Structure 1
């Protein structure tokens, strides 16, 4: 036995007991505090969350607003289709998870059982499309193309199809009135993504999982207005997911209508004539390559000159936006996006970039005047212009002697602009630019709005490019390493270019400036930019933001918000210069490079102004451009690898004007046949019950009467040498 007294242990035991008591008390205090925080401080929050766990939402999608043309003709609306849907909640109650029901449903719909089952499964990170990305408590659509017979079978044999419904439902439709496809302008819809839902959840227009959202065109720009507000019915459910009551119901609010300035009849004409011009170009031989022109893509813009409103906009190749309705198939998606498709989803009117050729000369003429050159002064137009060891030619080496800037525009003389641009390059310091260099030819292009977006109300517009000294430096810095790696002195043409670029790609050479002055080289523009410029020349100098939307109108027609045209500046020219350029462009169609395409045009009644352009692109055939305007409208057309401006695009542009003004090929006007002799200002009428008063239109029927003998015979000898 130990000799230590019992009392010697007592203090240490007591201390240990006290420590344990303090520890237990602290833990109890912490636990109590946490319980107070959860039950008292944040009790309501967690109570609400607990309640929401037993409330599930069923969404009734809002009817999407229509997109209307300027007279109220629907370009995009909704049609009633028989939609077959399934209730996942009901299917999950079945022993086999609804497999037998879905198999019978597939047999009725003429689908494969797996196809149906895939459509009703829920999406997650491991489940590929097709799958359902919405609420599992919402009816899941299997098809929106059910026939009446199929719907009757499902409804009459309800006992064989528990949880399956076949109901009429509004589905998006792109109507193509009068065969006016308008695909790239309208855009298309597709289901909302999780990322978009998260991003929009704190905004005033959050997405629901059932929403279809605009992916391009007007559907995207005006998605918020068109979408409306979905109705939501909230059901109380038990812990097994069974509905036990109705919590709350919000009625759906239909989307607004978007009225556009597009006229479906003119749109149909523009699409048809662009396509016909491309087909005609493919029949013509390119004498530079001894092959037919490829004419692989093109675009046309028809615009109100005084407002910037777009009357028609077509792009080729095109597509049917209905392919996206109800979800695009893998086959159609590959067809629209594959390498061989030539990218029909692109709107080449606002996304197609190319060198403008001679239609750029209105910019160069203005730059020359700003630099101090007299518009009516005399400037040599020889057959060629030499700089060092390089010679720049007029087409087929034709010279016109000493001419004015106006005449240079009329006959499209390149060498006049070569000479002026070369002089200004020297004044600016040449290869060693001065600090105070004026750079008139480049700064003027920027003031015309080139090198930046026009501000049109369509998404994904591109900026084009003005290749000034600043751009040269940045481009060189970005590409120097690649050029130096690829370049080779005395190698192939591409290798020699890369070699020169590596050494001095940042230097503005004389050849760069003279080539740029006639719209060649590194400059890039879009059709919408050039339409904006030529509209400004027509209206006296105001540069408008092009606009397709004309008004937002509520579904009942009671509330109207007009979309007014906005200006982003003035042309950098005075009224005198504008009038001089205007006169020269009128002469282009009477005695100049486009005269052979406008024989018989009623110039006194409807003065026509135009500029032809043919841009050369290394490794490709020439790009055709035709820019024109009257006092009412501007039309710009371009065809990639299509040949000359007057040869390929000119005739099509004339036919569009003829349809709008009611002219026959000989220039005689019948106003009753005119589609749009003047811009339309009034809005279509929408009745309180939602009905839209709109005329019916027929497909465009091109005139069959042949052109006069002189036009059919081709250009007169005076202008056969002009490439434009």
Structure 2
């Protein structure tokens, strides 16, 4: 009975639940309690996991390792410090020589609070091509932010446990540098260092020892003797003399070896060898060891510890060509350095070779022409901008950077002395000097182009200039008068004659007149139009722009008119505008590289003349200036006539003597040939003797020597030579 009642009650409840809601019995228009709205459930959308993965990968690509670390999960950060994390990524990038990194997301899977993102990584190594790996990023959602579960396998899948990557670099030999005709300037070679201990020379053998050494080192015996004559004869000190390639010395090696009992010391070495002690060493450059502080920067470019790189000049500029393409073998190694597997191998590719614009023999002779003076010489084809010679003194032997070269330590110690005058500075492109009277060419151009002066205008060039209130300036003729008590002033001169005589008062007058009559910047603007105050654009060599200020006072304008004051130029800039004067007004970009060729002989680069502008003067002005420059050397009253007369080559030029601010003046001569020989292009030549005195006394004879060398003329002795290459200065004549 009880069971029946329970069943009945259950049935009744079920039936009641199944009935529909009864209709309201309230009259129309009545009110009732409104039904409750369904509840709104607030949900937080999880951030896009792929966006998080992309952000992490972008940080990796930009080497922002700290930002990557900030995206790691707490548990991952507990296993590795921020510093360790950054270091391991940096080390892998360096080991792989990784230039950049690319990535792409392949797929992703999200399971509310966890996710996986498959990624393809391309490690753009400079040494190993097509180095790709797929990795899986594991991410956890933590307080609405995706965090990375990190392991070393996310850098490279094979990096499990204590495994490491190891790249063995395959290094090609360095490319050679040749002159324009293919004569080698630097290449790998076996050589012999040569030196002398003067105290060990037997008196009856000294002349013969010096003769033999001079023959092999291409050095006058008198020059070698001068290197040690002032040292005590009883002290054993070593004089490094140079190096000779083994091929060159082999036929005479026995002769030199016979003098080892007379102080001659010979030592073998090999490596990158600069023949003849270095042809244009500041411009060609040298190679040096990679320093510890820069090792990582070079390793990431594919270099190894213990390698050498270009340190200056073409060696530095052409590093990418001369170094070749390095290869490598990529291994996975364990903590003990044992190889677990080889992952990839890429062979090295041979380097290119660089050919300079100069001929080595001429270049070496030009270097000798500057012997005894600090300064520079630049020789440039006037119609192309091709550099035919570039010399800078004091100089250096680039072989000194080869530590296997016995003379190395002696030479480097000398070069880096605090009182040494920067032998590594290329004075042709980086030396900054006031131009002195050579600048009068520019002042003359400004005078004519403004219309304020004509070629026929006459000025009385006396000893003194007194147009500046309270200031008296002396002409160079007065300085000579004080020395010899007979040099007259130049007297009345036309503008052409003013340049021929290098009359300071005339050009001071021009500078002051232009400044005071509406043309305050005519001269400085003309100088800039001649290429001064800006880079020549030689590109392959380090260079300075110089300084051409606008004058701010009458005295500034007066000084600038003769190339003094704050005006500073490089010899290369002067050679560039001298070439333009000689070719009709076209400015060419100076170039030092004739060609670059691959190992297979294919030309990567070939010299082409490049016009960069025109002199801002009319053809009439150009002709007047050129005529005046011819008169400088041809007219008996010209400042260079006594040094140039008798030369069988047609030349034009200008002397310059620039106050240096300390010591003697700088001696300038700049000019060009107009020989019009089809087989010998005309050239511009600029010579500066640093603190050497007057341009007509020092630089004009050197200019002449360079012309004679280029055109194969008989060489005329310098006033200071007892024979070619040997100095002789009479005690009673220091000029």
Superposed pair shares fold, TM > 0.5: yes
2:385 pairs with 1:308: yes
Change over 3 Å in CA distance of 1:569–1:200 after alignment to 2: farther
Change over 3 Å in CA distance of 1:438–1:27 after alignment to 2: closer
Deviations along 1:506-551, one digit per CA (max 9) or x if unpaired, are: xx23222112111122211111111111011011111122110111
Query: Matched residues in 1 for 2:662 and 2:289: separation?
Result: 41
Query: Matched residues in 2 for 1:566 and 1:628: separation?
Result: 21
Query: Matched residues in 1 for 2:639 and 2:288: separation?
Result: 47
Query: Matched residues in 1 for 2:564 and 2:156: separation?
Result: 70
Q: Is the 8 A contact 1:63 1:170 kept in 2?
A: no
Query: Matched residues in 1 for 2:184 and 2:585: separation?
Result: 34
Query: Matched residues in 2 for 1:566 and 1:229: separation?
Result: 30
- 2:496 partner SS: helix
Change over 3 Å in CA distance of 1:27–1:558 after alignment to 2: closer
Structure 1, 452-461 or 314-323: larger mean CA deviation? 452-461
Partner of 2:477: 396
Partner of 2:458: 378
Q: Is the 8 A contact 2:443 2:510 kept in 1?
A: no
Cα distance, 1:256 vs structure 2: 0.6
Partner of 1:600: 646
2:332 pairs with 1:242: no
Q: Is the 8 A contact 1:190 1:327 kept in 2?
A: no
Q: Is the 8 A contact 2:578 2:670 kept in 1?
A: yes
Change over 3 Å in CA distance of 1:57–1:595 after alignment to 2: same
Q: Is the 8 A contact 2:322 2:352 kept in 1?
A: yes
Partner of 2:90: none
Change over 3 Å in CA distance of 1:627–1:535 after alignment to 2: same
Change over 3 Å in CA distance of 1:410–1:628 after alignment to 2: same
- 1:581 partner SS: helix
2:566 pairs with 1:522: yes
Partner of 1:345: 424
2:349 pairs with 1:299: no
Partner of 1:212: 308
Partner of 2:232: none
2:702 pairs with 1:656: no
Q: Is the 8 A contact 2:286 2:315 kept in 1?
A: yes
Cα distance, 1:201 vs structure 2: 8.3
Structure 1, 365-374 or 71-80: larger mean CA deviation? 71-80
Q: Is the 8 A contact 2:333 2:339 kept in 1?
A: yes
Change over 3 Å in CA distance of 1:422–1:169 after alignment to 2: closer
Change over 3 Å in CA distance of 1:704–1:522 after alignment to 2: closer
Cα distance, 1:619 vs structure 2: 3.1
Change over 3 Å in CA distance of 1:248–1:263 after alignment to 2: same
Q: Is the 8 A contact 2:709 2:715 kept in 1?
A: no
- 1:341 partner SS: coil
- 1:407 partner SS: helix
- Among 146, 150, 174, the residue aligned to 2:274: 174
- 1:302 partner SS: strand
Q: How does 1:489-568 map to 2 (within 5 A)?
A: 508-568=552-612
Q: How does 1:140-289 map to 2 (within 5 A)?
A: 171-176=271-276, 181-192=279-290, 207-209=303-305, 211-244=307-340, 246-276=342-372, 278=373
Cα distance, 1:396 vs structure 2: 2.8
Change over 3 Å in CA distance of 1:170–1:665 after alignment to 2: closer
- 1:647 partner SS: coil
Please, what TM-score do these two structures have when normalized by structure 2?
A: 0.62
Listed as ranges, the gaps of 5+ residues in structure 1 are: 1-25, 83-144, 146-167, 279-296, 429-436, 470-507, 668-700, 707-711, 716-722
Change over 3 Å in CA distance of 1:50–1:544 after alignment to 2: same
Query: Matched residues in 1 for 2:166 and 2:473: separation?
Result: 74
Partner of 2:509: 419
Query: Matched residues in 2 for 1:543 and 1:382: separation?
Result: 36
Q: What is the total number of aligned residue pairs between the two structures?
A: 494
Cα distance, 1:598 vs structure 2: 1.6
- Among 498, 507, 510, the residue aligned to 1:408: 498
Query: Matched residues in 1 for 2:628 and 2:443: separation?
Result: 14
Cα distance, 1:35 vs structure 2: 8.7
Cα distance, 1:424 vs structure 2: 1.4
Partner of 1:325: 402
Partner of 2:683: 633
Query: Matched residues in 2 for 1:661 and 1:27: separation?
Result: 80
Query: Matched residues in 2 for 1:320 and 1:608: separation?
Result: 33
Query: Matched residues in 2 for 1:646 and 1:302: separation?
Result: 19
Q: How does 1:552-701 map to 2 (within 5 A)?
A: 552-591=596-635, 592-602=638-648, 606-631=649-674, 632-665=682-715
Structure 1, 322-331 or 415-424: larger mean CA deviation? 322-331
Higher strand share: 2
Cα distance, 1:170 vs structure 2: 8.3
Q: How does 1:26-175 map to 2 (within 5 A)?
A: 40-41=136-137, 45-48=154-157, 50=159, 53-79=163-189, 171-175=271-275
Deviations along 1:186-208, one digit per CA (max 9) or x if unpaired, are: 11222445776766788xx6555
Change over 3 Å in CA distance of 1:49–1:208 after alignment to 2: farther
Cα distance, 1:232 vs structure 2: 1.2
Query: Matched residues in 2 for 1:217 and 1:571: separation?
Result: 29
- Among 450, 468, 484, the residue aligned to 2:532: 450
Listed as ranges, the gaps of 5+ residues in structure 2 are: 1-72, 79-110, 119-134, 139-150, 193-244, 246-267, 479-487, 675-681
Query: Matched residues in 1 for 2:712 and 2:603: separation?
Result: 35
2:454 pairs with 1:354: no
Query: Matched residues in 2 for 1:371 and 1:401: separation?
Result: 25
Change over 3 Å in CA distance of 1:208–1:67 after alignment to 2: same
Query: Matched residues in 1 for 2:320 and 2:716: separation?
Result: 48
Partner of 2:211: none
- 1:339 partner SS: coil
Higher helix share: 1
Query: Matched residues in 2 for 1:651 and 1:49: separation?
Result: 72
Query: Matched residues in 2 for 1:169 and 1:244: separation?
Result: 39
Cα distance, 1:462 vs structure 2: 1.2
Deviations along 1:624-670, one digit per CA (max 9) or x if unpaired, are: 11112113111111111111111111112211211111112479xxx
Which protein has the larger Cα radius of gyration, Structure 1 or Structure 2? 2
